[in-house]
A and B are shown apart, each in its own frame.
Chain A
Amino acid sequence: MSIKGKAYIGGIFEHPTRLATDKSLAMIHAEVAKGALEDAGLSKDDVDAYFCAGDAPGLGPMSMADYMGLTKLKHFDSTDVGGSSYVVHVGHACEAIAAGKCKVALITLAGRPRAEGMATGTVPRSRGGSPTPDEPFEFPYGPTVVNMYGMAAMRHMHEFGTTSEQLAWIKVAASHHAQYNEHALLRDVVTVQDVVNSPMISDPLHRMDCCVITDGGGAVIVVAPEIAKSLKRPKVKIIGAAETTKNQMGGAVDLTYTGARYTGPASFAEAGVKPSDIKYASIYDSFTITVLMQLEDLGFCEKGKGGAFVSDGNLISGTGKLPFNTDGGGLCSNHPGNRGGLTKVLEAVRQVRGEAHPKVQVKNCDLALAHGTGGSLGSRHGSGTIILERE
């Protein structure tokens, strides 16, 4: 059984906040849920499935269904694969709808690391509680988010000759888009020189190779075809979805590829389209290197040629061949709760609906892709890809 055409995106909402000192975590989840329901033209009591990940307080669906007053749930899922969770949730919602388990699936994300003063990328964090089996063999060495991605970037440079200047083009493209997003944290257009001259955080990643740390959140509502028909919104059909995990392979460590090497081809096969058909791509951008490696693995360019592919504005809407992250993405706009998968879905939906900012809207954007990577390229991560089509 395929999920192709079995479900649609009915509603979306992105929280405008980037600093939520005045809000609780549960409150942000509820606010984005309300926003997405209003966008769809549905009510809370229409929701019969709920999806959330590790950012939700308490025991995920139990705690949040109670808080939001969701009383009609027939299906729920708290799969947590870091920032990629919400892309994976869209695929899972399609499966549940296709299986007849539910008709209106709500997915929420929220987080407030900025309000909490979290040093997201530069401090090693023990997971606490029951340690993961890898932890004793890694934590003492000081792995952080940035140096783990840094090792992936360093190896890519070593094997393929990728340069800091090439990586910088990814940030440059994101900044070109962010200037039009009134909610973006960083709206200044930057140059390759700005990026490579920004302070080194962990070699070879500079500050501007890193995404922002923000509060906020977002929600997506996935609906059955008969519900989509009844809504007064453009119809965005989900035609392909795939997920996987990638890890250290028992010590056969290979940092040159990501889980997208599987989820790209698998989702394209389900959708019956190829990378060159895609008009717009939301690509997870925790770091510039994340984007580059995912583009290669998804099949937008050959392995090792990502540096050349992203250079010279090729990712900038209106000038490049593959417009990406036209909201400014994680590199410039937001990265709510240090999890960027949900906002990747949101901008892809806006593009397919024709509702992106006019300065970055891709013409005749009938086919878009959203991809998420959660966890670390340097050790273990989850990957999720979805392909969206305008009907």
Chain B
Amino acid sequence: MAEKERKLPASSTSPETEEYWAAAKEGKLLVKKCNGCGKTHHYPRSLCPYCFSDKTVWTTASGKGVIYSYSVMRRAPIPYALAYVTLAEGTTMMTNMVDCDFDKLKCGQPVKVVFKPTDGGGALACFTPA
């Protein structure tokens, strides 16, 4: 277990993504779904990166997923685990694994979302073993 948690910097928002960050503050993980082709994508875009339709809508993700890959950065003042998590909704997002023993992480491991505060009063979607 990492003794101390790394300070998370705030993310910049834009008119395209402000809903995502507002929801994160309320503990909700949003993903973009395309009503044109039905696919979910991440990071969120206004135009679907699969079919280029502009009919993309925000949906609330279940917060469940599995680790696609990860790497524990040992050469940092406070080591941390960078990861890609594939959400139950099908899309994969970059994240941090938190509140866990980094040496026990595995590709394919089930995880669930947990929000961590950032500088500036925001929140960031991280994951922890389910």
Interface residues of A (CB under 8 A from B): 122, 131, 133-144, 146-148, 150-155, 158, 199-205, 248-253, 255, 379
12 new A-B pairs (CB below 8 Å) besides A140-B118, A143-B82, A379-B94? A137-B42, A137-B94, A139-B9, A141-B94, A142-B82, A147-B73, A148-B71, A201-B75, A250-B49, A251-B93, A253-B68, A253-B84
30 contacts between A and B (CB under 8 A): A122-B75, A133-B45, A136-B11, A136-B12, A137-B42, A137-B43, A138-B43, A141-B82, A141-B95, A142-B6, A142-B82, A146-B73, A146-B75, A153-B71, A154-B107, A201-B73, A201-B74, A202-B74, A205-B71, A249-B49, A250-B42, A250-B48, A250-B50, A250-B91, A251-B43, A251-B92, A252-B91, A252-B92, A253-B92, A255-B68
* B40 near A151: Cβ-Cβ < 8 Å: no
* B107 near A155: Cβ-Cβ < 8 Å: yes
- Interface residue B59 (Cβ < 8 Å from any Cβ of A): no
- Interface residue B115 (Cβ < 8 Å from any Cβ of A): no
Across the interface, name the chain B residue whose C-beta is closest to A121.
Answer: B75
Tell me the minimal C-beta distance from A286 to chain B in angstroms.
Answer: 15
* A151 near B83: Cβ-Cβ < 8 Å: yes
A-B contact count (CB 8 A): 122
- Interface residue B124 (Cβ < 8 Å from any Cβ of A): yes
Enumerate chain A residues within 8 angstroms of B118, measured Cβ to Cβ: 140
A202/B73 contact (C-beta < 8 A), A139-B9, A251-B40 known: yes
* A143 near B94: Cβ-Cβ < 8 Å: yes
* B82 near A158: Cβ-Cβ < 8 Å: no
Partner of A255, one of B10, B50, B69, B93: B69
Bound: A379/B97 CA distance, A: 18
- Interface residue B22 (Cβ < 8 Å from any Cβ of A): no
* A251 near B91: Cβ-Cβ < 8 Å: yes
Across the interface, name the chain A residue whose C-beta is closest to B16.
Answer: A133
Size bracket, chain B contacts: 35 or more
* B42 near A142: Cβ-Cβ < 8 Å: no
* A248 near B92: Cβ-Cβ < 8 Å: yes
In B99-130, which residues have CB < 8 Å from any A CB? 107-108, 118, 124
Enumerate chain A residues within 8 angstroms of B75, measured Cβ to Cβ: 122, 146, 199, 201-202
Tell me the minimal C-beta distance from B129 to chain A in angstroms.
Answer: 17
* B12 near A135: Cβ-Cβ < 8 Å: yes
Bound: A142/B17 CA distance, A: 20
Tell me the minimal C-beta distance from B64 to chain A in angstroms.
Answer: 16
Tell me the minimal C-beta distance from B100 to chain A in angstroms.
Answer: 14
Bound: A257/B27 CA distance, A: 34
Enumerate chain A residues within 8 angstroms of B11, measured Cβ to Cβ: 136-137, 139-140
Most B CB atoms within 10 A — which of A122, A138, A253, A255? A253
Enumerate chain B residues within 8 angstroms of A122, measured Cβ to Cβ: 73, 75-76
Tell me the minimal C-beta distance from A278 to chain B in angstroms.
Answer: 30
Tell me the minimal C-beta distance from B8 to chain A in angstroms.
Answer: 5
Tell me the minimal C-beta distance from A163 to chain B in angstroms.
Answer: 15
* B42 near A251: Cβ-Cβ < 8 Å: yes
Tell me the minimal C-beta distance from B1 to chain A in angstroms.
Answer: 16
Bound: A137/B21 CA distance, A: 10
Partner of A155, one of B14, B68, B96: B68
Tell me the minimal C-beta distance from A162 to chain B in angstroms.
Answer: 12
* A131 near B12: Cβ-Cβ < 8 Å: yes
Across the interface, name the chain A residue whose C-beta is closest to B84.
Answer: A253
* B84 near A151: Cβ-Cβ < 8 Å: yes
Tell me the minimal C-beta distance from A227 to chain B in angstroms.
Answer: 44
Partner of A151, one of B13, B17, B45, B71: B71
Enumerate chain B residues within 8 angstroms of A255, measured Cβ to Cβ: 68-69, 84
Enumerate chain B residues within 8 angstroms of A200, measured Cβ to Cβ: 74
The 9 closest A-B pairs by CB, nearest first: A150-B71, A251-B91, A250-B49, A136-B11, A137-B43, A158-B107, A253-B92, A251-B42, A155-B69
